[in-house]
Structure 1
């Protein structure tokens, strides 16, 4: 890339990979992906609380599983209490409200997609999986990590009051 005489920077040429991060973000905000991760979380939640996962928790699950830093910081089991985990990760908690706000529209699109394509069902304001994927994603892929995290979050938030989850993360339903 060269600098024009005026000091302005030219737009990147077609050979640069500057559009790759944008493509990655678009893939992560895909309604089908969001519907799938919500289905995995709702399935895990429903195994602990048969009523199903309150649909409002979709706005907690998606930002926690799609944000790589948060996903990597999640515990491997639900033995760690959610409030303890939050207190040990103040930087992730501080950024969570902004991440959650940015994902409101994509989560809504994922919910609509999931309901329209029989991935999710709503029963008394709670989500339940309508169908589960027949094949698991390959091990050691980001998709595998996202779905594993979604299932963990489903089990974990089932052990907490919905209001406490929102309050602990500094957001409101």
Structure 2
């Protein structure tokens, strides 16, 4: 694992554990809205590359009405690059999970991550790009919840556990 001081500043900023923890907490909130349960931990490793990669994030559907299989068939180039992006994000996602658990942003029960309920202080608004990432993370959580199982999601996206 590369030390923080050795990473390019953009990579260190975009893949910092606090950002990943916030992304995963928001994904878990979206998933819980649909299912009443936290997001399966394995889907954390799919949500991050879906949301952090700008091209993929911008291509995500506007609502959960589009089935994942339909989206995959409409976006073969993005789907083709997803497995590699997922592999490259394994360590940052693990660090984000650890950070989220240590700072009471996330909780874990068996194989599911849940967001620890928090209220944003009044008047605090995230910068536009962060707001877009969190908005899409919530959508991703709700959207991935619509597919039968995590194994189906992984298979459709070509990601191996």
* TM-score, normalised relative to structure 1: 0.84
Q: Name 1:119's counterpart in structure 2.
A: 105
Number of corresponding residues: 152
Pick from 137, 153, 163 the counterpart of residue 125 of structure 2. Answer: 137
Helix, strand or coil for the counterpart of 2:139?
Answer: helix
**Could you tell me whether the CA contact under 8 Å between 1:39 and 1:132 is conserved in 2?**
no
**Could you tell me whether the CA contact under 8 Å between 1:29 and 1:106 is conserved in 2?**
yes
Pick from 133, 149, 164 the counterpart of residue 136 of structure 2. Answer: 149
**In structure 2, what is the Cα distance between the partners aligned to 1:133 and 1:94?**
38
- 1:165 corresponds to 2:153: yes
Structure number with larger C-alpha Rg: 1
**Could you tell me whether the CA contact under 8 Å between 1:138 and 1:144 is conserved in 2?**
yes
**In structure 2, what is the Cα distance between the partners aligned to 1:47 and 1:98?**
29
- Flag structure 1 segments of 5+ consecutive residues without an equivalent: 1-20
- Whose relative contact order is higher, 1 or 2, with alpha carbons under 8 Å and at least 6 apart? 2
Helix, strand or coil for the counterpart of 1:122?
Answer: strand
Q: Name 1:88's counterpart in structure 2.
A: 74
Which structure's residues are more often helix, by fraction?
A: 2
Helix, strand or coil for the counterpart of 2:8?
Answer: helix
Give 1:51 deviation, angstroms: 2.5
Q: Structure 1 residues 45-54 or 88-97, which shifts more?
A: 45-54
Q: Which runs of 4+ in 1 moved over 3 A?
A: 135-139
